[in-house]
Chains A and B, each alone.
Chain A
């Protein structure tokens, strides 16, 4: 069954390529902001909603069925929208644009995932609330350099190991809050939604410039709560154990690969004019470098480190398959939301965008949600997310809205296991280490609702209440 679907999907991709001439014409139109298509029918968002609901419920309620069939389900739902756009709307431009965005997205995520999987950090120190707090802060910072995925992969094992004698679920939950989500709000590498914003035209340093003064107090506030909880955990007394205090880092060459990924993010003709464009191909030099890093970093990785990290392609394979479906099915949703926001106009303020982006990001995936609401916020001002110059203008003239959508998408990703890709990866690694994690609902009832919602409420009151 699987090879047939792959062949079919490949056929569609080949068909898209065969329409490269049309794409080139429409790309020229886009540059002038005149590439417009008729709106899709409302029912075309059903595959998107269905896929997101299945992503939310599948791993919880029909785990083994979902594990074996999610690639087919995601692809089939994606194909229904692709066929609709080809056969009914005759719109190849939107599909090729989405394909290019998908390739950029998966190139970044997979390269960070594989490169960081070949690095092993050993910290032989006694677990204390202060040491944990330092690791959480350090992780939140480096999440902006190697992504929330990279930072989570790199630090979760040493974090569990340091706390092996007193580990409790809250350790991992705060790790998810800070390193897998909120930490990565300062750069496009930090979290996938911001990278999608960057691909659409938001300046790389826009995020750090406009979000740091929300980021720093949020991170410090959550770390303070963590210290208060962790100070009450005395754990097992283990007097026999001696700690050398040594910190060991193995797989240094993979740090070089991470640096290559970081540099390659900027290799975009829209960022650096001397970078050649490969249009009409739906990828560029950046993606080629990132995929080369995936191959090279895996092939040259120390097998002992991969073994120690229990490296497995499954988590990134899952993201790659699901996001084929998500990216394809979200095309009509993006266009419809942008249109609706345009119609609703002034009734939507920055606070509404903060909460609506956030609450949906908490339960759906935050990357497509970000694009939907960025599109909506831009639509309010008559701007089109598909036009790079419009995105740049929006970031310059309406920073409050872009900030609200960005903070909402990144921060609220911590609300549930399904809010952001690394959340599930961290949960999975922790459970494979033998630590039982709270269920989907227990995570929210015991942790994210009582801790994060009040925090997010304070942010709203200070920065967005009555603003915009």
Chain B
């Protein structure tokens, strides 16, 4: 299992298939923004989104989208606020902001958000 820092440093990518994305690290998702949808309720399995943490990866489903590659265009991103698994979720310093760029061949480029891209917690 890789940490988020290792993933960012080595430039590892995630994957997407339809409305499901796979991230190569383990994390608790606090907030997800895709298009105009701000998803914070991950409790339901019929609307908004759902995420599951496995031994080697984290998966997220976006129920309102059939295929994210059709909705997220070249300069757009899926934005996440997350806490790496095992970190203290109550410490704001552990809240990480990442952007996912949808690329070809089901690849998701993972990038830590810089100050230019807006994401309000």
Enumerate chain A interface residues (CB-CB to B < 8 A): 64, 120, 122, 157, 160-161, 164, 167, 304, 306-314, 427-429, 431-436
Contact = CB atoms under 8 A, between A and B. Distances in A.
A49 to B, nearest CB: 27
B75 A310 contact: yes
A314 B74 CA distance: 11
Interface string B94-116: 00000000000000000000011
B46 interface: no
Interface of B: 31, 33, 35-38, 64, 73-77, 79, 81, 115-121
A333 B55 CA distance: 63
B116 A433 contact: no
Given A428-B36, A432-B35, A434-B33, A309 B120 contact: no
B116 A431 contact: no
Contacts of A314: 73
Nearest to B34: A432
Which of A120, A307, A311, A433: most chain B Cβ within 10 A?
A307
Contacts of B115: 161
A308 B38 contact: no
A307 B64 CA distance: 24
Contacts of B76: 310, 312, 432
A434 B31 contact: yes
Contacts of B119: 433-434
List the 10 shortest-distance A-B pairs measured between CB atoms, nearest first: A433-B118, A308-B116, A434-B120, A311-B75, A431-B36, A306-B75, A434-B119, A435-B120, A312-B73, A307-B75
A312 B71 CA distance: 11
B120 A157 contact: no
Given A64-B64, A308-B116, A428-B36, A434 B75 contact: no
| Binding site secondary structure of chain B | loop
Contacts, number: 58
B75 A312 contact: yes
Contact of B38 (A64, A157, A306, A434): A434
A120 B79 CA distance: 20
A432 B36 contact: yes
B33 A167 contact: no
B22 to A, nearest CB: 23
Contacts of A161: 115, 118
A310 B77 contact: yes
A35 B72 CA distance: 48
A161 B119 CA distance: 9
Contacts of B37: 431
Nearest to B101: A307
Contacts of B35: 432
Contacts of B75: 306-307, 309-312
Contact of A157 (B33, B118, B121): B118
A177 to B, nearest CB: 21
9 contacts: A122-B116, A161-B118, A164-B120, A312-B75, A432-B33, A433-B119, A434-B81, A434-B120, A436-B38
Given A309-B75, A313-B73, 14 more contacts: A160-B118, A308-B117, A312-B75, A428-B36, A431-B33, A432-B36, A432-B76, A433-B119, A433-B120, A434-B31, A434-B33, A434-B38, A434-B81, A434-B119
Nearest to A250: B116
Which of A120, A122, A310, A312: most chain B Cβ within 10 A?
A310
Contacts of B118: 157, 160-161, 164, 429, 432-434
A64 B120 CA distance: 25
Contacts of A436: 38
Which of A161, A314, A432: most chain B Cβ within 10 A?
A432
A201 to B, nearest CB: 39
A181 B88 CA distance: 45
B61 to A, nearest CB: 15
Given A160-B118, A160-B120, A164-B120, A434 B79 contact: yes
Contacts of B73: 312-314
